[in-house]
């Protein structure tokens, strides 16, 4: 944020340029300290931006969109899946607010959907914020639609962690960082387990969509095969480099172990060339991954020649003992992550 003072302001012309600059800086600091505006004092995560969500996306960000649409009067089903019903309501909202009605929720549509929230507020927008806080940070926060003291404390904690102004109100800077924030999978169900080499649980963070799509694929696979899907590295909490990985910087790359004949992949790995490897079950897993995220699986690296031949996976050196799933968004700063 930068305060601009017009040169015609009374008495302003009697200051030399260096004095004017110093006064402008002091005024800017005063505005921020008194809580005016939505700009953060600082942001440790300059890549924070509203993520693109569209048909086929899943997860807490989609739940947030659906609650916000209901807040604007659209009878959207709260499912966590960006289906044709959600797209139709997004398009209606976009037309009503003068946006291009492409059915994709990008930064401009997000900014139109969210509204500033504070203590005492009620409604679907509060539910959206509570759900995002609960899913991404795992506080003991009930989704009630009432902005109570517990919600305010959760917001303050989030703002402190993200180096935002700690106000307890959800301004647009807080919304942007909250929606952008990565989350970690739920390893409580038997359908999903964590083998995480290297950084361990520190590298279990991914975008809301990538995590939800992986969880859904695991649910589908577990329902058919009865064994869990073993998850390795995804990304760090705020993205960035993971030692030993060229990728995994954007929360959209997920490493998974192939399935073993004895279904013990949660405890020990295998390789497509070993007798312990279950090719048929691994193929079922790959198909479940694609079915859980239609239009949002950019690629799957895994070197089983049979899966390569039928086009289910792609070859990549070093991917004999794990699947590397790359999810995509409707638009992304890097083209390799765009759908």
pLDDT in tens, 75-120: 999 999 999 999 999 999 999 999 999 999 999 999 999 999 999 9
Residue 199 banded pLDDT, cuts 50, 70, 90 = low
Predicted confidence at residue 35, as pLDDT, reads 38
Predicted confidence at residue 48, as pLDDT, reads 86
Domain 60-180 falls under CATH 3.30.70.920: no
Q: Shortest CA distance to 294 belongs to which of 217, 222, 180?
A: 217
Is it the case that residue 37 has pLDDT exceeding 90?
no
Using a 10 angstrom Cβ sphere, with 0-12 exposed, 13-18 middle and 19 or more buried, the burial of residue 80 is buried
Predicted confidence at residue 128, as pLDDT, reads 98
Mean pLDDT of the chain: 88
HEC sequence for the chain:
CCCCCCCCCCCHHHCCHHHHHHHHHHHHHHHHHCCCCCCCCCCCCCCCCCCCECCCCECHHHHHHHHHHHHCCCCCCCCCECCHHHHHHHHHHHHHCCCCCCCCECHHHHHHHCCCECCCCECHHHHHHHHHHHHHHCCCCCCCCECCHHHHHHHHHHHHHCCCCCCCCECHHHHHHHHHCCECCCCCCCCEEECCCCCHHHHECECHHHHHHHHHHHHHHHHHHCCCEEECCCECCCCCCCCCCCCCCCCCEEEECCCECCCCCCCCCCCCCCCCECHHHHHHHHHHHHHHCCCCEEEEECCCHHHHHCCCCECCCCCCCCEEEEECECCCCCHHHEC
Predicted confidence at residue 198, as pLDDT, reads 60
Residue 339 CA to residue 337 CA, distance in Å, equals 7
User: For the chain, what is the radius of gyration of the CA atoms?
Assistant: 23
Q: Shortest CA distance to 179 belongs to which of 236, 89, 248, 105?
A: 105
Whether the CB-CB separation of 302 and 290 falls below 8 Å is answered with no
Q: Report the b/e string of 246-271 with b at 16+ CB within 10 A.
A: ebbbbbbbbbbbbbbeeebbbeebbe
pLDDT in tens, 256-306: 999 999 999 999 999 999 999 999 999 999 999 999 999 999 999 999 999
Whether the CB-CB separation of 212 and 195 falls below 8 Å is answered with no
Domain definitions of the chain by residue range? 60-180, 192-337
Global pTM reads 0.85
Distances (CA, A) of 308 to 16, 24, 200, 232, 312: 70, 62, 29, 22, 6
Domain 192-337 falls under CATH 3.40.50.720: no
């Amino acid at each position: 944020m930068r305060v601009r003072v017009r040169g015609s302001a009374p008495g302003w012309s009697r200051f030399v340029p260096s004095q004017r600059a110093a006064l402008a800086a002091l005024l800017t600091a005063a505005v921020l300290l008194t809580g005016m505006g939505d700009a953060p004092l600082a942001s440790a995560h300059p890549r924070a931006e509203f993520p693109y969500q569209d048909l086929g996306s899943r997860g807490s960000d989609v739940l947030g969109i659906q609650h916000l649409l209901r807040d604007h009067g659209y009878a959207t089903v709260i499912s966590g899946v960006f289906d044709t019903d959600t797209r139709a309501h997004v398009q209606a909202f976009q037309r009503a607010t003068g946006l291009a009605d492409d059915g994709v929720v990008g930064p401009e549509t997000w900014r139109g959907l969210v509204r500033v929230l504070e203590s005492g507020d009620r409604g679907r927008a509060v539910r959206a914020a509570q759900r995002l806080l609960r899913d991404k940070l795992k506080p003991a926060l009930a989704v009630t639609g009432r902005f109570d003291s517990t919600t305010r404390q959760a917001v303050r904690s989030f703002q402190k962690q993200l180096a935002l102004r700690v106000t307890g109100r959800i301004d647009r800077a807080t919304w942007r960082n909250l929606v952008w924030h990565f989350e970690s999978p739920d390893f409580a169900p038997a359908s999903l387990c964590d083998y995480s080499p290297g950084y361990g649980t520190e590298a279990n963070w991914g975008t809301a969509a990538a995590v939800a799509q992986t969880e859904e694929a695991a649910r589908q696979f577990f329902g058919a095969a009865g064994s869990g899907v073993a998850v390795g590295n995804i990304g760090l909490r705020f993205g960035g480099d993971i030692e030993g990985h060229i990728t995994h910087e954007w929360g959209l790359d997920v490493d998974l172990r192939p399935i073993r004949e004895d279904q013990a992949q949660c405890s020990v790995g295998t390789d497509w060339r070993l007798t312990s490897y279950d090719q048929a079950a691994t193929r079922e897993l790959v198909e479940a991954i694609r079915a859980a995220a239609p239009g949002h699986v950019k690629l799957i690296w895994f070197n089983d020649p049979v899966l390569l031949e039928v086009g289910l996976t792609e070859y990549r050196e070093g991917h004999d003992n794990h699947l590397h799933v790359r999810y995509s968004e409707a638009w992304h700063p890097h083209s390799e992550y765009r759908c």
